[in-house]
Amino acid sequence: MIEYILGHINYWFIIAVMMVGLYTLISRANLIKKLAGLAIFQTAVILFYVSLGKVTGGTVPIVDEAYTLYSNPLPQVLMLTAIVVGVATTALGFALVIRIKEAYNTIEEDAIFTLDQKDHE
């Protein structure tokens, strides 16, 4: 049991990070904090992929006659793309928050909700 937990220690950490991200995302009413939570959540996934690629005892994947065991480079390459996507999402999110601030003069979700209700009436 202990071995199972220790053997997957990286995954447990990743799950912890992911939960922190999701929790922030759900529990905070401040839109900036929400975006921060989203970014943490995405980072956890990136960590997950990177640790997938690690092969025990493997080295950096550079072709050299002295080594035969490499870590898998593909997940890291994939994550380059995912990071780009993540950055774009966060940037777009911030842009939206700025516009929301201009339009509503607040970035608290509850306040926005109340304002929308007022509009509706």
Partner 1 sequence: MNEQLTILLVVVPLMIAPITALFKSHTISWILTAIVSFTSLILSFIILFDVIDGSHVIYELGGWRPPWGIEYKIDSLNAFIALIVSAIACLSTIFAWQSVPKEINENNYGLFYAALQLCLLGLLGIALTGDIFNLFVFLEISSLSSYALISMGRSRKALTAAFSYLILGTIGATFFLIGVGFLYAASGSLNIADIATRFSTFADMQLVMTGFIFILLGLGLKAAIFPMHSWLPNAYGHAPSVVSIFLSATATKVSIYVLIRVLFDLYPVAYWQALLLPQILLVLGCVGVIYGSFRAWQQVELKRLLAFSSVAQIGYIIIGISLLNNDGITASVMHLFNHALIKATLFMGAGIILYRTNTTKLSELRGFGGSMPWTFAAIVLAGLSLIGVPGTVGFVTKWYLLSGAIAQGKWIVVVAILAGSVLAIAYVWKIVEAMYFNSKRKMVIQNVKSGDINLAKAPISLSLALWIGAAGCLYFGLYTELPYQSAQSIATALLSSEVAQ
Contacts with partner 1, residue ranges (CB under 8 A):
25, 31, 34, 38, 41-42, 45, 48-49, 52, 75, 78, 81-82, 85, 88-89, 92-93, 96-97, 99-100, 103-104, 112, 116, 119
Question: CB-side exposure of 48: number of CA atoms within 13 Å?
Answer: 14
How far apart (Å, rounded) are the C-alpha atoms in residues 24 and 18? 10
CB nearer to partner 1: pick between 3 and 66: 3
Which residue number, 20 or 45, has a Cβ lying nearer to partner 1?
A: 45
We find the least distance from the C-beta atom of residue 100 to partner 1, in angstroms, to be 5
Of the candidates 50, 100, 109, which has an alpha carbon nearest to the alpha carbon of residue 77?
Answer: 50
Closer residue to partner 1, CB minimum distance, 66 or 81: 81
The distance of closest approach from Cβ of residue 42 to partner 1 in the complex, given in angstroms and rounded to an integer, is: 6
- To the nearest whole angstrom, how small is the minimum distance from the Cβ of residue 1 to partner 1? 16
Q: Side chain identity at 21, as an amino acid letter?
A: G
- C-beta of 26 vs 66, nearer to partner 1: 26
38's tokens: 């989203």
Minimum distance, C-beta of residue 54 to partner 1, in the bound complex (Å) = 12
81 to each of 8, 45, 60, 85, 110, how far by Cα in Å? Answer: 26, 13, 20, 6, 35
CA–CA distance from 1 to each of 6, 17, 41 (Å)? 9, 22, 28
